[in-house]
Amino acid sequence: MLFVEANGAKIPAIGLGTWELRGRTCARIVEQALRLGYRHIDTAQMYDNEREVGEGLRAAGVKRDQVFLTTKVWPSHFAPHDLERSAKESLVRLRLTEVDLLLLHWPNPQVPLVETLGALSRVRQQGLARHIGVSNFTVALIEEAVAACPEPLVCDQVEYHPYLDQTKVKEACARHGMALVAYSPVVRGRIKSDRALQRIGDRYRKTAAQICLRWLVQQGVAAIPRTSRLERLSENIEIFDFELSDEDMQEISAMGSAAGRLTDFGFAPKWD
Ligand code: 1BO
C-alpha cells in the first residue's frame, strides 16, 4: 500500500470512506476492508458511526499501529472547550486512546479560526490525535489556517474526482506540505459508466473506477472511496500494479470543471 507523506504524516493512499454507512453494515465493511489490506479508515462525528467503525477495527484484529484512523469534529463544536470535549467523546465511541488524524469537518465563520486551531493543536499535544488537518477548506481558508495554526496541518480533505477541477486547492496544499485527501473520488459510483475512462481501462485491463483512483494516487493524492459492497472494496485497492501514461493522466485531468461538484450544502463556504 502506497503512502502519501505530508508534514510528518504517512497517509495510506487508499482508504475507506464511511459517510452514510451505518450500524452492522458499517462495522462489517470496515472489518472486511481491513482484512483485504486497507489501512486507512475515515469517519466523522457527524457520520454517527464512530462506534461501528471501532467495532469493525476490533473485529478485524489488525494491530492498532497498522491502521490510520481519521475522524472529524463538526463545526458546532469549534469553540475551544467544546472541541476538546467533542474529540474525547469521539475517542470514547471509537474505544481508542488516540486517532491518527483529527480534522475540522467544515469551516465555521462564527468561531475565530485561530481559536479553533489553537484548541485542535492542544488536543494533539495531549496525545488524543497524532496529526491534525482540515476538510472542505478553500484556498483562502487554507492560507488563513496555515498562518493561524501553531503547528503544521497535514491535509485538506475535499471532494475531488475527474469531473471537479481542484488544481488550486491541490497547489495550495503542496505549497504548505499538506496532502489533498479526496472524498467522493469515484463520483458516488457514477464514474463506472464513464465511456472515456472505460476506454482507457480496456487498455490496462482495469475498470473505470480503478483508472479514476489510479489517476488520483498517481498525482500524490490520497483517496477514500466509500462502498458497502465487498466486490467494490477489492476493486478499489487493486490499483497498485499499473501506471497510467502521461497522455492518459492529462486526458483525465482535462475532464474537470468547477461545475462537477456534488457536495454543496447551504453551509459550505463560497468555493474559489
Ligand atoms: C456532510 C459530510 C460531507 C462529507 O464528509
Q: What is the pLDDT of residue 264?
A: 87
Over the stretch 136-148, which tens digit does the pLDDT of each residue have? 999 999 999 999 9
Q: What is the pLDDT of residue 259?
A: 86
The Cα 199–Cα 165 span in angstroms is: 21
The Cα 184–Cα 264 span in angstroms is: 12
Catalytic residue check, 47:
yes
- What angle, 0 to 180 degrees and rounded to 10, lies between the N-to-C axes of helices 230-237 and 23-36? 40
176 annotated among ligand-binding-site residues: no
What secondary structure letter does DSSP report for 207? -
Domain residue spans of the chain: 11-189+220-238
Is 48 a pocket residue for ligand 1 (Cβ < 6 Å)?
Answer: no
Q: What is the pLDDT of residue 26?
A: 98
Ligand 1 centroid from CA 22, angstroms: 14
**Strand-pair partners of 5:** 10
Q: What is the pLDDT of residue 145?
A: 98
Take residue 45 and report the three cell numbers written for it. 462525528
Q: Which CATH class, in words, describes the domain spanning 11-189+220-238? A: alpha beta
The Cα 193–Cα 253 span in angstroms is: 17
Over the stretch 144-197, which tens digit does the pLDDT of each residue have? 999 999 999 999 999 999 999 999 999 999 999 999 999 999 999 999 999 999
Closest residue by Cα to residue 215 from 259, 189, 254, 260: 254
Over the stretch 8-25, which tens digit does the pLDDT of each residue have? 999 999 999 999 999 999
Residue type at 199 in one-letter notation: R
